[in-house]
Amino acid sequence: MEFTLKSGAKLVVSLSSFQDAHSLTKALLKSLKGTDVPESPMDMDVKDFFNALISVATSDEVEQHLFKCGERALYNGVKFNRDLFDDKNLGEQAREDFYEISIKIIEVNCRPFFKRTFSMLKPSVK
């Protein structure tokens, strides 16, 4: 999938292998365990939202699997890896885009696991 980030940078993200995408999904769920999530994420309390964000952003396990799933991603035509963020031409802009890049990699690789799950759970939640 191709995205234009808010900075104007182009990001291309490909679906990773099942194992890599599933490992990222499990790492995210593990880091979010215990977080209160309302029926609609838009109704999430600001404090709970930031606690969830901090939990994910500080997880070494999530970071490891994020970079593994990002191996096929391109940021302005440059391979997404840790070296990108030290690149003399793109490093600073890439750092500014880091969380937006991360969200897109997570979206492409983890969404398929939940696409039908939430629709199946919705009737039982009511």
Residue 106: Cβ within 10 Å count? 21
Q: Which amino acid is at 112?
A: P
pTM, rounded to two decimals: 0.84
Confidence (pLDDT) at 121? 53
18-72 pLDDT, tens digit each: 999 999 999 999 998 887 766 666 676 787 778 888 889 989 999 999 999 999 9
Q: CB-based contacts of 125: which residues, under 8 Å, 6+ apart?
A: 39
86-123 pLDDT, tens digit each: 999 999 999 999 999 999 999 999 999 988 765 655 55
CA distance 80 to 12: 10
CA distance 60 to 64: 6
CA distance 113 to 119: 12
